[in-house]
């Protein structure tokens, strides 16, 4: 696997490109802004097919979906059905930084992803999702806005619930190996072990 992290947009949302050399598949995770930049980086990989996966449907994680899909010939966007309504809602905006997304590809449930476990992580939104990639040589979790280095995702935004978020982290992230790298939706990476020891919200 090859992982590329691209902070994009007004809130430096992390868009991730995960390329699978064995299958020539490219996964574009959370294309939140700057579609031309994302597409240009994607085209550096010799992929035969591309898919867009979303950790959740807040506007800063989806606003470039339509244009990226057009540029890379992707027919749909895969996310949890619990976030379908938010994904398509005209109210899903954050002015003046993000207007409601236009020309979005249709939402679809997650299909099987090579070398990846799809982990439900509700709490930041109802459909929050993590992607645990493991090819036998490298392993990492792309966690969206569920957890950050020393912090957790907001729960005062649409779809948020604090108790649900803490339950997702304690039941679905903290049992993972301490040395597992976590890539959040904003900011730098962390590890499971670091968050167990240093995250004040998980004490």
List per-residue pLDDT tens for the chain, 203 residues long: 999 999 999 999 999 999 999 999 999 999 999 999 999 999 999 999 999 999 999 999 999 999 999 999 999 999 999 999 999 999 999 999 999 998 999 999 999 998 999 999 999 999 999 999 999 999 999 999 999 999 999 999 888 999 999 999 999 999 999 999 999 999 999 999 999 999 999 98
Map residue 94 onto helix, strand or coil: strand
At 178, list the tokens. 């301490």
What is residue 98's DSSP assignment?
B
At 100, list the tokens. 């409601």
Q: pLDDT at position 50, please?
A: 97
Q: pLDDT at position 88, please?
A: 95
Helices (H), the chain: 35-42, 59-62, 65-72, 84-88, 162-172, 192-198
Distances in whole angstroms, Cα of residue 196 to Cα of each of 13, 65, 179: 24, 34, 11
Give the predicted TM-score (pTM) of the model: 0.96
């Amino acid at each position: 696997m090859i992982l590329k992290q691209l902070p994009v947009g007004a809130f430096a949302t992390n868009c991730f490109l995960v390329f699978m050399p064995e299958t020539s598949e490219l996964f574009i995770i959370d294309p939140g802004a700057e579609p031309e930049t994302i597409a240009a980086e994607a085209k550096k990989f010799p992929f035969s097919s591309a898919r867009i996966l979303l950790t959740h449907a807040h506007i800063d994680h989806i606003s470039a979906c339509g244009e990226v899909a057009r540029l890379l010939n992707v027919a749909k966007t895969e996310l949890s059905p619990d976030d379908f309504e938010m994904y398509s809602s005209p109210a899903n905006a954050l002015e003046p930084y993000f207007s409601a997304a236009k020309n979005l590809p249709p939402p679809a449930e997650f299909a099987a992803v090579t070398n990846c476990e799809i982990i439900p992580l509700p709490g930041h939104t109802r459909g929050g999702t993590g992607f645990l990639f493991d090819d036998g040589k490298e392993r990492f979790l792309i966690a969206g806005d569920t957890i950050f280095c020393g912090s957790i995702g907001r729960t005062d935004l649409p779809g948020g619930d604090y108790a649900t978020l803490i339950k997702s982290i304690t039941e679905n992230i903290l049992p993972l190996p301490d040395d597992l790298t976590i890539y959040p939706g904003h900011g730098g990476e962390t590890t499971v072990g670091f968050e167990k020891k240093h995250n004040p919200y998980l004490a």
